[in-house]
Each structure stands twice: as structure tokens, then as C-alpha cells.
Amino acid sequence: MRLLFLLFFACICCSSENKETIHYLSFKKCKVSYPQFSKGEKILYEGHSISNEWYLESAKRELANCLCEKYLQKSDEETKAKILEIFKSKEEYFSKDYSNNLSFDSILKHRKEIFDNKILIE
């Protein structure tokens, strides 16, 4: 009976834990890591959290920045296509203050602003 109680208690304790795992996005020679949490978000403080999706969107932006830098060193169509895919992807947490019809040269020129991956919490 005692063993059953200990197993039950251990399961409850473990299930209340918000485990963090590190995931990776990579393309060509760019690789970025980002956290994912078993409960779907990281609680920062009362009423403020960062969701797994928010971390993923931030990581995609970081990857795009890296790809832009690689593209400027050596241009290739695969890298360009991946940059454009990230640029045109729908984002829930970041606001896009630019047109989706921006030329590729403009994307490269303004890459740091377009793919800014900082997460700001009020």
C-alpha cells in the first residue's frame, strides 16, 4: 500500500513539472536552438508567459538572419527560397511592419529589422 502511495505521489510531482527541452532548426550551415516546455509555455511571472510557438517563431527569425548573412557571402537559390519562405510565413506573436511584396534585395538590406527575434514582454 505504501509503495502504491509513493508511486502515485511521484507521478503527481513529475506531472506538475514544466520540463524544458532544447530543439534545433537548421538549414545549410545555419543552426539555432530554442527551448520548448512540456506544458506549452514558460511562466515568467504572474500573468506573463512565453509560449512554445513564440520561441519557435523567434528561432525561425534567428535562422533567417543567419541565412541572409550566408547568402550575402555566397548567393544560392535554395538559401534564397528558405529566406523567402520564412519571410512569408504567418506569425502569431511578431508583428510585421512591412509589406509581403518587399523585394528580396530590400529583405536582405533590412534583415536585422525584418527578422528581429527579440521577445519583449510588457
Higher pLDDT, 1 or 97: 97
Residue 29 CB burial class (10 angstroms; 0-12, 13-18, ≥19): exposed
Q: Residue 44 and residue 48: Cα distance in Å, rounded? A: 6
Q: Which three cell numbers stand for residue 25?
A: 532548426
% of the chain residues with pLDDT over 70: 86
Question: Is the model more confident about 94 or about 16?
Answer: 94
Angle at the Cα of 14 (from 8 to 18), degrees rounded to 5? Answer: 150
Flag whether pLDDT at 3 surpasses 70.
no
pLDDT digits (tens, 9 = 90+) for 13-52: 455 799 999 999 999 999 999 999 999 999 988 888 999 9
